[in-house]
Amino acid sequence: MELSAGKLWGLRRLADDTGRFKMVAVDQRPPVKNLIRDKREDGQAPDEDVAMVKSLLVEELQREASALLLDPHFAYPTAIQHVPASRGLLLTLEDSVFEDTPGGRRSSPIDDWSVGKIKRAGGDAVKVLAWYRPDASDEVIAHQQEFVATIGDACRRYDIPYLLELLVHPMGPDAAPVADHGDAVLRSVEAFADDRFGVDVFKLESPVAPGHVPDPDGSGSDTTDAQALFDEMGRIAGRPWVMLSAGATAQDFFRVCAYSYRAGASGYLAGRAIWWDALQAYPDIDAVRQGLSTQAVDYMRDLNGLTDATALPWHDHPVFGDDGPVLAGAGPDFRHGYPESEEVGA
């Protein structure tokens, strides 16, 4: 399978030298703001405190990561100088504020931010979270699919990898959870696996509620059933995929990764499972730094050991065939066939 020059190089930048993704998410906005607000006597979350916390995360965790996911509000402008040139860089595009309707959630991009700006800012990839439920209203489903497809078109034009994160969500006046979480996750992945959306890597949630993931080394039917769900998710994805932590505990996320790697996942893109516990020491910044440099780093090393041992290198995914991904248009005439950014994918 051929990959365009920008997508091929960008995916290589995100992974380690073996082709496995060990990516740390520092783009969270409401979770970090809310934690700071809850722990301050004045109930405020000053921008400078949010930026400082994000800078700490980057400084202390980048050594164990293959790439870092930053937001354009706080993490990028404050901490980009702490990201080594040897690490991959993802930038988020979706607004953390979404529209909740009786028929489901509607996503939108961050204002005055775009795929083109991410590329110009040095991003190796674009990350987008799309809330999705297969049982949402027709209008909401159409909106979410158009949101994802429009960004996919822009990523093709600017020749930059597109990482799509999908999350099932409560819906309706009573914020009802989906009846069958695993089925909803699988159907969501199936909806966006169509090539028209332009997704290069899926960032997926566990099809089993993280707190109920059985011991991956067990031998009972629960373990077998859980593995079957992960296997099916990997089959449906049809391209490289990684796991997200979605607020899971460190222990639960480790179990999730064990199942996903057996199913063909190529690593993780996670945040709170790695650094949430250390942030509980805020506003004691020295204690936060200590927790990140010890507890969080030790966890990442253990998780990376599991990733090294069992995750599938992204370039070995079956979608690329026996020979792996190759550069589209390779040869002496490459420069003639490779279009300007505005024409890529046209």
Mean pLDDT of 160-184: 92
For residue 171, is it within any domain?
Answer: yes
**Predicted local confidence at residue 189, as pLDDT:** 98
Mean pLDDT of 159-183: 92
For residue 243, is it within any domain?
Answer: yes
- Give the C-alpha separation, 3 to 344, whole Å: 12
Query: Residue 174's pLDDT band (boundaries 50, 70, 90)?
Result: confident
Over 80: is that where the pLDDT of 64 sits?
Answer: yes
**Predicted local confidence at residue 181, as pLDDT:** 94
Mean pLDDT of 18-31: 97
**Domain of residue 28, residue span:** 2-337
State the CATH number of the domain containing residue 144.
3.20.20.70
Query: Residue 173's pLDDT band (boundaries 50, 70, 90)?
Result: confident
**Predicted local confidence at residue 324, as pLDDT:** 97
**Predicted local confidence at residue 287, as pLDDT:** 98
**Contact (Cβ atoms closer than 8 angstroms) between residue 164 and residue 238:** no
Question: What residue spans of 90-159 are helical by DSSP H?
Answer: 115-120, 138-158
Over 60: is that where the pLDDT of 294 sits?
Answer: yes
Angle among Cα 203, 206, 209 to the nearest 5 degrees reads 150
- Give the C-alpha separation, 45 to 279, whole Å: 14
For residue 346, is it within any domain?
Answer: no
**Predicted local confidence at residue 342, as pLDDT:** 59
Mean pLDDT of the chain: 96
For residue 55, is it within any domain?
Answer: yes
**Predicted local confidence at residue 340, as pLDDT:** 83
Query: Residue 19's pLDDT band (boundaries 50, 70, 90)?
Result: very high
Mean pLDDT of 192-218: 95
**Predicted local confidence at residue 345, as pLDDT:** 42
Mean pLDDT of 51-68: 98
What is residue 174's DSSP assignment?
T
What percentage of the chain carries pLDDT values higher than 70? Answer: 98
- Give the C-alpha separation, 112 to 281, whole Å: 34
Query: Residue 346's pLDDT band (boundaries 50, 70, 90)?
Result: very low
For residue 203, is it within any domain?
Answer: yes
**Predicted local confidence at residue 219, as pLDDT:** 87
Mean pLDDT of 192-216: 96
Q: Where are the extended beta strands (E) located within 195-287?
A: 201-204, 241-243, 267-270
Q: What is the count of structural domains for the chain?
A: 1
Residues 6+ apart with CB under 8 A from 305: none
User: Which tens digit of pLDDT belongs to each residue from 99-150?
Assistant: 999 999 999 999 999 999 999 999 999 999 999 999 999 999 999 999 999 9
- Give the C-alpha separation, 295 to 257, whole Å: 19
